[in-house]
Structure 1
């Protein structure tokens, strides 16, 4: 969301309430407190979160992180938000900063409730958020503090299964601006990105596949669904589905670049990986 924190805080809060109603009660039990330590999510915890979202003084960034367990070592249910001041050079790099949020579900949630339910929930969340780009995908989920070590171990799996996402919200949100990150099972396109792609009519012509559905949204936005179920895409047993490749090629000029200087997750590696479906 290429919006400053103050402009999106209430929308993110509403999305969080939708998420909490959708998952088993009490699943999210821990949060990163104002000192950065994991603490039990009790009444004081919620007071801290509200203070961060609505009462904190002007800053360069605002962070809310909620998890199932204090160790945050396993994937599953989780919520992470980074809000930023937008348009102020001191607080962003190359005009790419955004406010951003992710919400994760264990694979068991998808298997129990089915893709139709998860898609409906993603659409409900998307309606609340003034996004430029968003997506839902099968993904490897880890606590941000563990991410660099985890990603090194995942490289062989990423090369075999291009449908599995790997991400670090704090990294992506500093560089994506109003661009895109790739083609995913559910791909949300907002402004100005959708207009830069030629709008809905142009996309229908370029993505004329029976597997693809188009869901117009308020505010000249669009949800693309690339199939009934998300796909891991095993390179050893089959090719990348054609609709994913076609959308990736449409988005390629607008894809962001991520990554640092420490091998093997360098900027060059991430440049190639984020474009893995384009050819």
Structure 2
């Protein structure tokens, strides 16, 4: 079998691709960054060891200008992760075109006035992008390696749109496209850090569950007994964390072809009380498309 991802892309008027299909791994940790700093630095090293040092070659400076990520700049990035109270780190393989590889991290301080004004919502968020050509075996291995390193409350890995973030028209297009391809994630880790808390950001190919959600659904063995769709597996990752994998290979689905991903729908029904919504971080926007996309496995 092979991964079933759609051949979709959006090209801007000047000819650059600004959206395409890829793979992503995301983790959410409801802790202040100061508790996570060395682990996030190790996660970046783990990612680069898996994809190669050449995969990340650019970063934005304080003025937003893209600079070459040489070895010195990479060392500075690790220092920032270790010393800054709330770092925002973005490293990628290109600045002039859409990337295959990206490391994105948003650290938060749960004791800050901003976090206290949004009780239960803020969380540190980290994501890792890989190309659609990545083998599912190596992709799964990397996701598990990162999961065993990071003290996640939740996380996921699987098919995802790779897109320029911050373009609202493009975001709306991805929400609409995601209704046809329900297994595709719409990336927004920067804002998800202010909305997920200790809940779960949707259902995906690999679903990492930790406290408090895993305990709330009855623990690893109870959850495994409740999931009956063939191909679904539940694996314990320590005493209070687990990963639920929906099928042998990632599948984006395609409702036009009748591939509605029943395993995803089954897990979504179980997790519904603990599913987070991005709407709280998207105030003053038209969120109808978002609401439909977030409930694509429930309605």
Q: 2:147 aligns with which of 115, 126, 129?
A: 126
Equivalent residues in 2 for 1:176-191 (5 A)? 176-191=196-211
Count of aligned positions = 268
> Against the structure 1 CA distance between its residues 103 and 246, is the aligned structure 2 distance closer, same or farther, given a 3 Å change threshold?
same
The answer to whether the 8 A contact 2:104-2:127 is kept is yes
Does structure 1 residue 95 correspond to structure 2 residue 123? no
Among 213, 219, 223, which residue is 1:193 paired with? 213
Equivalent-residue separation in structure 1 for 2:283 and 2:240 (angstroms): 38
Paired residue for 1:212? Answer: 232
1:35 aligned partner: 63
**Given the alignment, which residue of 74, 92, 101 partners 2:98?**
74
Q: Deviation at 1:211?
A: 0.6
Distance 2:265 2:95 in 1: 39
Q: Which moved more, 1:85-94 or 1:41-50?
A: 85-94
Higher helix share: 1
Identify which of structures 1 and 2 has the higher relative contact order when contacts are C-alpha pairs closer than 8 Å and 6+ apart.
2
Tell me the distance in 1 between the aligned counterparts of 2:242 and 2:94: 35
User: Hey, what does 1:4 align to over in structure 2?
Assistant: 32
Does 2:293 align with 1:269? no
Match of 1:104 in 2: 129
- The residue aligned with 2:8 is none
Q: Secondary structure at the match of 2:159?
A: coil
| Aligned match of 2:78 | 50
| RMSD over equivalenced CA pairs, Å | 1.8
CA distance in 1 between partners of 2:181 and 2:203 (Å): 14
Question: Is residue 161–residue 234 contact of structure 1 (8 Å, CA) maintained in 2?
Answer: yes
Contact kept? 1:211, 1:228, Cα under 8 Å: yes
Distance, in Å, in 2 between the alignment partners of 1:144 and 1:156 is 16
| Unpaired stretches in structure 2, ≥5 consecutive residues | 1-28
Equivalents in 1 of 2:273, 2:41: separation in Å?
32
Q: Distance in 1 between the 2:290 and 2:250 partners?
A: 22
**Structure 2 counterpart of 1:237:** 257
Which segment drifts farther, 86-95 or 245-254?
86-95
Shift of 1:35: 3.4
TM-score by length of 2: 0.84
Question: Offset of 1:101 from its aligned partner?
Answer: 0.2
| 1:79 match: secondary structure | strand
Aligned partner of 2:181 in structure 1 is: 161
8 Å contact kept, 2:93–2:101: yes
Gaps spanning 5+ residues in structure 1: where? none
State the alpha-carbon separation in 2 of the partners of residues 79 and 8 from structure 1: 16
Aligned equivalents of 1:31, 1:227: Cα separation in 2:
35
Partner of 1:247: 267
1:21-32 alignment runs, 5 A limit: 21-32=49-60
Q: Is the aligned partner of 1:135 residue 2:160?
A: no
1:63 aligns with 2:91: no
Residues 208-258 of structure 1 deviation map (CA, whole Å, 9 limit, x = unaligned): 233111211124100111111111111011142221111011111111111
3-state SS of paired residue (2:194): helix
Return structure 1 stretches of 4+ with deviation > 6 angstroms: none
